[in-house]
Structure 1
Amino acid sequence: MIQVLVSTWALLLGILLLLVGNGVQGTLLGVRGGIEGFSTLAMSIVMSGYFVGFLGGSRLAPAMIRRVGHIRVFAALGSMISAILILYPAFAHPISWTLGRILIGFCFSAVYVTAESWLNNSVDNANRGKALSLYMITQSAGIVIAQGLLVLGDPSGFILFVIPSVLVSISFTPILLSVAPTPAFATTKPMSLRQLYSISPLGCIGIFLLGGMYSAMLGMASVFGSAAGLSVAQISSFVAALYLGGLCCQFPIGWMSDRLDRRGLILWISVIGAAVSALGMMFGASSYVVLLIVAFGVGGMTNPLYALLIAYTNDYLDPEDMAAASGGLLFLNGLGAIAGPILTGWIMAQVGPYGFFLFIGLLMAALALYAAWRMTQRQSPSSVETVSYAPILPSATPVVAELVQEVFIENQEEVVSDAQDAAELEYAEREAAGGR
């Protein structure tokens, strides 16, 4: 792990600064929207714009990189991010904010693809899994750190918009001064959604539902806090708790994933997530401490589900099909993510701020019911046939998704090789025993 950190620290530092900048603007807009008097439904459309742009950027970034190169894409779109962050308070209107969120989602997606392709190129097969874990920790840490910056200024002013703009601009320095140009950018042609659904119905439905849950958390948590009357410090702590829960639960759930029936684990995580969401809706208003505990639990159940569902889907794929499947899974997750904030905003407008937890709980319950039904339709693969769990967040780009699939393929090849070695050893021992 130290060796990987030494070789990738500049990239990880740049990515950390990018995530801090992104985390600040996402939460800050929810707070500022409340100050400006925007309705919950209007803010839900604003927040959904980011995921529209992110999905578009994920699909168009490879072509942009192939045409003009990594450095030009990174510098041009990074500069646009900085400009948009400063323009938000100057044009405080739902329409201009929605357009800004679409553009900034597109730019962040393409910038992530560029930085992650450099990261992928800087590690070898032996260290790919460790690099992936470090990257996931960096992502979560960036968003958590961002929440602490919100208390440094007045959200009704300009300074909190300037801070993420500066951070994004600074993030270019360690990346552009330390990395070498990468090879020609290439992505695998995605598998059709019909074929992917026929292979893993639960994987497809689960990824789609999870996209809605994650985007509701990422986009609407600060809108919920503002509507519920929380202070800026309380909102920042609430959002941080969501991501700390995901970071703390990712690896324990991954450990269980490699030892238990994954469908059963998906079922119980969804049941727990639905129950915790119900507690938040019923008792969150009574105590801020309860609200933080609920946030930690909801984040802890939601974030690891993405990697778990990908691992479950890969259990039914041949290694050569895993990379192609990642494109379809990303697209389904993106569609769910676009709808998540809008549906959350509509529910919050109908039942009040705590409809935020109602929406997440309903999706968790739907996933639990579907997983329970799928358990009656076919047998789960044996533990020998399953691939190893690899950590990944629902905000993944095509580069990280394919990086994860490479880790899955390498782990699967190691499992197959070990099984073959064990079989050959057993055969040799029987032959030796027979000779005696």
Structure 2
Amino acid sequence: MFEVLKSSWALLLGMFLLMLGNGLQSSLLGVRGGEAGFSAFEMSIVMSAYFAGFLLASRFTPELIRRVGHVRVFAALGSFISAVLILYPAFPDPIVWAVGRVIIGFCFCGVYVTAESWLNNSASNDTRGQALSLYMIVQMVGIIAAQGILLVPDASGFLLFVIGSVAVSVAFAPILLSISPTPAFESTKRMSLMQLFRTSPLGCVGMFLLGGVFAAQFGMSAVYGTAAGLSLQQISLFVAAFYVGAMLLQYPLGYMSDRMDRRRLVTAVAFLGGLAATFAVLFSSSFTILLASAFLIGGAANPLYSLLIAYTNDFLGHEDMASASAGMLFINGLGAITGPLIIGWAMDTVGPEGFFILIAALLLTLTAYGLWRMTRRAAPSVDETGKFAPISQASSPVFMEVAQEYVSDAAEAAEAARSDAA
């Protein structure tokens, strides 16, 4: 762990500041949109736009890096992020904000691709697993800390947008001053979506449904808090609860997944998250229940992302794991674009409770589909399953591929050890 910190502290510090800015702008827009009188559906378009930009960048950023290099791409995209964060309060219009969110989503994905390439290059085979875990923890802590900044006075002025812009701008200094350019970027050959679905129907359907849940907690949770009449302090705690749950429950569930039928765990965790969302609908007047529900939903949805990838890997050869990552990311991105739009429509139709109603519907649908898939084919034995790797839904294709390669290497090492023992 200390070796990883020694070699990657600048990158991890920069990523913390980037997530501080990203988490702050998402929650801040949700609050400001309500103050400006935007409808829930208008805000859903704004929030959905981020994931559209993110998905576009996952396709085009690798080519940009090949053409002009990591450093130039990193610096250019960072400049755009800072500029858009400053422009938000100057043009309080949902169309302008949606365009800005597309740009920011595109830029953040490109920044993640570049940073994660550096992270992979600085880690050795022995430390890669620790580097992946630390990176994901830093992402979560950055988003959680951003909710505290939301309480800084002057919430109706420019100050909070300036803080987000400064955090993003400063984030690039430790990275660019301490890290040399990485080798040429190479992406893995993609697996077709049809081939991926045939390999793991549960993995593909689950990734699409979880995209909607993740987009809800990242983009629409502050919109819900504003519509439900929560105070700014309550909104801050509410949004943070999703990520605290994700950070604390990721590893216990990952430990369990390596020791039992992953489909049973996926189904049970999805049901727990769906039940928590249902309770939030029934007892929405209790802020304590809202906090507990947010904690459990975040603690279910984020580990489910990693669980579904691990489950899909159980049916892939080692050589196919990295190539499947792009397809999984694309499917999740489609769900993330669609989810906020449906939630915004639901909130305008039935009220703020539409936020939790849709989350409950998505997670309980995953529960039902997981139960049905159990009747279609037998699960692989625990001895034949691969290793769980924590992966954030905010990660880029590079992180996905690195995590897949790490799992593949771990599986090959385990097989070699068993062969030597035999």
**TM exceeding 0.5:** yes
The RMSD of aligned alpha carbons is 0.7
Question: TM-score w.r.t. structure 2 length?
Answer: 0.99
Task: Show the counterpart of 1:426.
Answer: none
Residue 203 (structure 1) aligned with residue 200 (structure 2): no
Correspondence 1:287-436 to 2 at 5 A: 287-423=286-422
SS at match of 1:151: coil
- Map Cα deviations across residues 169-207 of structure 1 (whole Å, 9 max, x no partner): 000100000001100001012100010111111011111
C-alpha distance in structure 2 between counterparts of 1:170 and 1:404, whole Å: 28
Q: Distance between the aligned counterparts of 1:80 and 1:274, measured in 2?
A: 38
Q: Name the aligned partner's letter for residue 358 of structure 1.
A: I
Secondary structure in structure 1 of the residue aligned to 2:150: helix
Residue 233 of structure 1, CA deviation:
1.1
Residues 110-168 of structure 1, C-alpha deviations (whole Å, 9 max, x = no match):
01111111111001111100000000100000000000001112221100100000000
Question: Which residue pairs with 1:91 in the alignment?
Answer: 91
Does the residue aligned with 2:284 lie in a helix, a strand or coil? helix
Task: Quote the residue 1:215 is aligned against.
Answer: 215
Query: How far did residue 284 of structure 1 move?
Result: 2.3
The C-alpha deviation readout for 1:343-367, integer Å capped at 9, x for no partner, is 1111111111011111110000110
**2:384 aligned partner, one-letter code:** E
Task: Give the % identical residues.
Answer: 59
**Alignment-derived partner of residue 80 in structure 1:** 80
Rg larger in 1 or in 2? 1
**For 1:272-322, what per-residue CA distance to the aligned partner results, in whole angstroms no more than 9, with x for missing partners?**
11111100011022x211211111111111110000000000000000000
Q: How many residue pairs end up in the alignment? A: 422
Q: Which residue type is aligned with residue 367 of structure 1?
A: L
SS of the aligned residue for 1:38 comes to coil
Distance 1:298 1:267 in 2: 14
CA distance in 2, matches of 1:310, 1:154: 42
Residues 163-178 of structure 1 aligned to structure 2 (within 5 Å): 163-178=163-178
Report the equivalent of 1:119.
119
SS at match of 1:120: helix
Distance in 2 of aligned mates of 1:61 and 1:85: 21
Give 1:228 shift: 0.3
Task: Map Cα deviations across residues 357-414 of structure 1 (whole Å, 9 max, x no partner).
Answer: 1111000011011100110011100111100100001112111000110111111012
TM-superposition CA deviations, 1:247-295 (whole Å, max 9, x none)? 000000001100111000011111111111100011022x211211111
Structure 1 contact 41–346 (Cα < 8 Å) conserved: yes
Q: What TM-score results when the alignment is normalised by the length of structure 1?
A: 0.96
Listed as ranges, the matches of 1:149-298 within 5 Å are: 149-285=149-285, 287-298=286-297
Task: Quote the residue 1:147 is aligned against.
Answer: 147
Report the 3-state secondary structure (helix = DSSP H, G, I; strand = E; otherwise coil) of the residue aligned with 2:229.
Answer: coil
Separation in 2, partners of 1:152, 1:396: 28
Aligned to 1:432: none
* Conservation of the 8 A alpha-carbon contact between 1:244 and 1:296: yes
Q: Which amino acid aligns with 1:39?
A: S
Retained in 2: the 8 A contact 1:8–1:122?
yes
| Structure 2 Cα separation of the partners of residues 396 and 82 of structure 1 | 20
Where has structure 1 moved over 6 Å in runs of 4 or more?
Answer: none
Equivalent residues of 1:31, 1:155 under 8 A apart: no
- Find the aligned partners of 2:179 and 2:58 in 1 and give their Cα distance: 22
1:59 deviates by 1.2
Separation in 2, partners of 1:410, 1:126: 10
| CA distance in structure 1 between the partners assigned to 2:271 and 2:12 by the alignment | 35
Q: Residue 382 of structure 2: SS of its match in structure 1?
A: coil
Distance 1:30 1:375 in 2: 39
> Residues of 2 paired with 1:154 and 1:192: CA distance?
49
Q: Does 1:128 align with 2:128?
A: yes
